[in-house]
Structure 1
Amino acid sequence: MSTPTGLDDPDYAAFAWRRFRRILAWMGLATAIVIAVAIVGLDHFYGPLSWIAILATIGGVGGSVMLAAALMGLAFLSSGTGHDESVKDID
Structure 2
Amino acid sequence: MAPRSPLDDPENAAFAWARYRWLMKLMFGITSVAVVLSLGFLYWRNGMVSIHLYIATALGVTAAMMLMAALMGLVFLSSGTGHDEAIDDRLGDQAKDAWDEID
**Same fold by TM (over 0.5)?**
yes
Task: Mark the runs of 5 or more structure 2 residues left unpaired by the alignment.
Answer: 92-103
* Identical-residue share of aligned pairs (%): 44
Structure 2 counterpart of 1:62? 62
Structure 1 counterpart of 2:41? 41
Q: Any idea what the Cα deviations from partners look like across 1:14-65, whole Å, max 9, x if unmatched?
A: 1100000000000000000000000000000011142211110111111101
Question: Aligned letter for 2:60?
Answer: G
Structure 1 counterpart of 2:85? 85
| Count of matched residue pairs | 88
Question: Cα distance, 1:5 vs. partner?
Answer: 5.2
Larger gyration radius, structure 1 or structure 2: 2
Q: Counterpart of 2:29 in 1: which secondary structure?
A: helix
Question: Aligned letter for 1:56?
Answer: A
Task: Mark the runs of 5 or more structure 1 residues left unpaired by the alignment.
Answer: none
